[in-house]
Amino acid sequence: MSVLIYTDSADGTLTKNAFEAANYGALLAKKEGKTATAIVLGEASDIDKLGAYGITKVLHVNDAALNNFDPQRNAAIIAQAVTKENATTIIFPHDYSGKATAPMLAAKLDAGLVTGAVALPEGNTVRKTVFSGKAFADVEIKTAIKIISVLPNSVDKETGEGSVTVEKFACEIPATRLTVKEVKKASTELSLTEADIVVSAGRGLKGPENWGMIEELATELGAATACSRPVADIGWRPHHEHVGQTGIAIRPNLYIAVGISGAIQHLAGVNGSKTIVVINTDPEAPFFKAADYGIVGDAFEVVPKMIAAVKKLKG
Amino acid sequence: MKIIVCISKAPDTTSKIAFADGNSKFDENGVQFIVNPYDEWYALVRALELKEANGGSVTVLNVGDASNDAIIRKALAIGADDAVRIDAPTQDALFVAKQIANYVKENNADMVLLGKETIDYNGSQVGGMIAAILDMPYVSLASKLDMNGTTATIEREIEGGVEVVETSTPFVLSAAKGMAEARIPNMRGIMAARTKPLNVVAAIDATNATEIKSFSLPPAKTGCKYVDADNVEQLIDLLHNEAKAI
């Protein structure tokens, strides 16, 4: 019996979320006395790294066609691996690929699925976030085959020195009905959901022309940039930067919010962050209640000083 | 073009989150329920725009009990032509997906649209499950949808960006921000919604694959440590040495 982990790749390497899912699956396999097998679809040059995360075996379908993401085709291939490996639990990263593929596999196998898990299962029960991070639910999976997707940045990693055996997985690859016409990637931009540090700003910045210092602080910290909803709605920043309940939810190690008051809908998208820093001129801004560190002050004075202090630190 | 939009009932985004019956149930006391924003703002409004441009019909579909009728009427007020409620208490995504897939199979549709997730259980499950059951292509996290005959051109979120994909009807799509602008129902819409058909149909037999056992709240923050605006270096020092975040 085994735990099967779908480790997704993008641009020829496994994603950070994939390694986290691999680690979660390996810890679960260890706990339940099972084998941890990963499955990689498409090209990935760093499969060997999975060993450090506790994976012992990898099924690789090294077909360039699979670089184009089709959750239906992926689910069909993973279902074949489930049979071959006699997998009883299948783990996904809860990212763009897992969100689409895991439910398709669940329906195919008639298996219970818990998405956005934040801890290893206790028996058949898995803890996940609900109400956009405002609460947790303990959900029991009642089917023999169990599917779990792991929320990024939520389970502590345990790495070691293990190595993997990579096996070419001969499987039937169904035809796709999705044609990728164009990829619009901002290659220099750190993916917001994968970033360890996020620097975010809101209406307090007064205009899109003032974002230079936010971008500079982000660059110095190796951070991604984000924004609040009003700022995306009035077109100061692109929609894909909007974090919050109706934008994207993020859980970085460090979230720095500049000139954002902290409406409940914004907090819902960021309250999983490990450390929150708030900079706001208004001492009554609700965001300070959710913050670990705060500065009551003018962003236009504080942010340049932060940039200088970070430069000094990184020397 | 026949479009089915699946809608869920969700607590308003400003709701206080509390639990009842030994933390086994969401406390609905004083909670205002709305159409799940992703279903309404993005999936439903884009469906209406496509109908206005190309003709056809928009049906909203909900799985739930009679307490959902108020939010279904809201979707009709925004402009859906008719509504169907599959009468069953909901608990598990696979159960809900089987109900919806069965309805779509019996009634056909060129596309099934829904929001990328509900804001209460954050499952992101039902869309993919419907597509798998019906063997239709699934495009998730879509921020743009254009139709040309039976060909759909869709922008979807992927790792670190977006990509443009093409598929053809019938398909299932989960909608994210950017797909459309929210609409506020006008008085005419609200009046018309009262007489639009809301058909209640019986659920099919299906079991629940999951069950919520209990809820809990995350530990509260211990309090904000304030740093003086004239002493920004101290903040960076704390982030480095205390929080170990940079």
pLDDT of amino acid A193: 82
For residue A258, give how far its alpha carbon lies from the nearest alpha carbon of chain B (Å). 13
A242 reaches B (C-beta below 8 A): yes
Paired strand residues for B142: B156, B175
Whole-complex ipTM? 0.95
Using DSSP bridges, classify how beta strands B161-168 and A179-185 pair: parallel, antiparallel or unpaired: antiparallel
B70 reaches A (C-beta below 8 A): no
pLDDT of amino acid A224: 94
For residue A101, give how far its alpha carbon lies from the nearest alpha carbon of chain B (Å). 7
CATH class of the domain defined by A197-314: alpha beta
**Tokens of residue A262, six digits:** 């902290």
A291 reaches B (C-beta below 8 A): yes
Closest CA to B184 of B41, B52, B67: B41
The answer to whether domain A2-168 and domain A197-314 are alike in fold is: yes
Residues of A in contact with B140 (CB under 8 A): 71, 96, 99-100
Choose between B90 and A154: higher pLDDT.
B90
pLDDT of amino acid A132: 87
For chain A positions 206-235, those within 8 Å of chain B (CB to CB) are 221, 232
The one-letter amino acid at B65: D
For residue B223, give how far its alpha carbon lies from the nearest alpha carbon of chain A (Å). 6
For residue A299, give the chain B residue with the closest CA. B229
pLDDT of amino acid A290: 94
Where are the domains positioned within chain B? 2-216
For chain B positions 140-159, those within 8 Å of chain A (CB to CB) are 140-141, 143, 153, 155-159
Residues of B in contact with A185 (CB under 8 A): 158, 160-163
Question: Does A313 sit within 8 Å of B236, measured CB to CB?
Answer: yes
pLDDT of amino acid B161: 82
pLDDT of amino acid A44: 96
pLDDT of amino acid A249: 87
**Tokens of residue B197, six digits:** 């058909």
pLDDT of amino acid A189: 59
* A103 cis-preceded (ω within 30 degrees of 0): no
Q: Measure CB to CB from residue A135 to each of B92, B208, B215 and give the nearest one.
A: B215
A125 reaches B (C-beta below 8 A): yes
A147 reaches B (C-beta below 8 A): no
- CATH for the B2-216 domain, from 3.40.50.620, 1.10.10.10, 3.40.30.10, 3.30.930.10: 3.40.50.620
A 10 A CB-CB count for A163 gives 10
Model confidence at B24: pLDDT above 60: yes
CA distance B64 to A269: 27
Where are the domains positioned within chain A? 2-168, 197-314
Per-residue confidence band for B5, with pLDDT thresholds at 50, 70 and 90? very high
Are the CB atoms for B27 and B18 separated by under 8 Å? yes
Question: Does A294 sit within 8 Å of B138, measured CB to CB?
Answer: no
pLDDT of amino acid B88: 97
Q: Measure CB to CB from residue B177 to each of A132, A135, A246 and give the nearest one.
A: A246
pLDDT of amino acid A133: 86
Question: Does B215 sit within 8 Å of A138, measured CB to CB?
Answer: yes
Model confidence at B44: pLDDT above 70: yes
Question: Does A182 sit within 8 Å of B164, measured CB to CB?
Answer: yes
Question: Does A239 sit within 8 Å of B137, measured CB to CB?
Answer: no
How is residue B146 annotated by DSSP? Answer: E
Residues of B in contact with A104 (CB under 8 A): 128-129, 131-132, 138
pLDDT of amino acid A229: 95
The list of chain A residues with pLDDT below 70 reads 186-190
Residues of B in contact with A103 (CB under 8 A): 93, 97, 124-129, 132
Q: Measure CB to CB from residue A72 to each of B13, B138, B243 and give the nearest one.
A: B138
B245 reaches A (C-beta below 8 A): yes
Where is average pLDDT lowest: A181-190, A252-261, B87-96, B109-118? A181-190
Are the CB atoms for A135 and B218 separated by under 8 Å? yes
B93 reaches A (C-beta below 8 A): yes
**CATH architecture of the domain with residue range A2-168:** 3-Layer(aba) Sandwich (3.40)
Residues of A in contact with B181 (CB under 8 A): none
Q: Please list, in sequence order, all residues whose beta carbon lies within 8 angstroms of the beta carbon of residue B239, skipping any fewer than 6 positions away.
A: A254, A275, A277, A293, B245, B246
CA distance A117 to A135: 12
Per-residue confidence band for B231, with pLDDT thresholds at 50, 70 and 90? very high
| CA A11 to each of CA A68, A102, A168, B69, B103: distance values in angstroms, whole numbers, following the listed order | 10, 21, 20, 46, 39
pLDDT of amino acid A186: 63
Terminal Cα distance for chain A, rounded: 51
Residues of A in contact with B23 (CB under 8 A): none
**Mean pLDDT of all residues belonging to chain B:** 96
